[in-house]
Amino acid sequence: MALLTLAEAKAQLNITDTANDTELQAYVDGVTAAIEAHVGPVENRTVTEKHDLSRCGVRQLVLRQTPAVSLTSVSPVLSGGTTYTVASLDLDGPTGVVCRLDGGRLYGPLRVVYVAGRGTVAPTINLAARIMVQHLWRTQYGASRGLAAVGGGDDYSVTEPVGGWGYAIPNRVLELLEPYKLGPAVL
């Protein structure tokens, strides 16, 4: 599952030839990390984490990457520790909260293997990725295409404000991602 395909990026940019495919693919690959910084993992991936739990145990542990699609295994880091079957645990995917179905405590330290991501790419996230590639691709044109006169008020402006670095993510992309935005986290 890709956040955005080369064909989708080319359609967004109205490019029909293959002359820039290698360079454009780098843009397609590059937008994933920036978008996932706002919405969490989109493309499914396996994650392994170590969770050091209280000696008294905890009622729930919170995965560090959300949303989570499924648990693969929850096993002790140290020999002789408790192994938990995935069937005996409940995963709240959007929040990443894992707890025992019987209400008991989890004892650790534990190694948790799970799949983080969204299962499918929401059309709005795909559109945000297309717009972001379009925004970044405009840096190819510069003053030679008459864009030097575009002021900083345009969301697509790729000129750098005086004394600043400009920006890579336009406001319209951030607005599209807002419904999927991660909440604040404490690690």
Mean pLDDT of 145-154: 46
Confidence of residue 150 (pLDDT cuts 50, 70, 90): very low
Contact 4, 148 (CB under 8 A): no
Closest C-alpha among 117, 143, 141, 121 to residue 130 = 121
What is the per-residue pLDDT for 35? 92
What is the per-residue pLDDT for 16? 94
Mean pLDDT of 7-15: 95
**Considering the chain, what percentage of its residues have pLDDT values greater than 90?**
60
Q: How many CA atoms lie within 13 A of 183 on its CB side?
A: 6
Mean pLDDT of 16-23: 94
Tokens of 86: 């995935």
Q: What is the DSSP string of 32-85?
A: HHHHHHHH---S-EEEEEEE---TT-BSEEE-SSSSEEEEEEEEESSTT---B-
Q: Tens digit of pLDDT for each residue in 20-38? A: 999 999 999 999 888 998 8
What is the per-residue pLDDT for 81? 85
**Considering the chain, what percentage of its residues have pLDDT values greater than 70?**
83
Does the pLDDT of residue 147 top 70, yes or no?
A: no
| Stronger pLDDT, 165 or 167, i.e. the higher one | 167
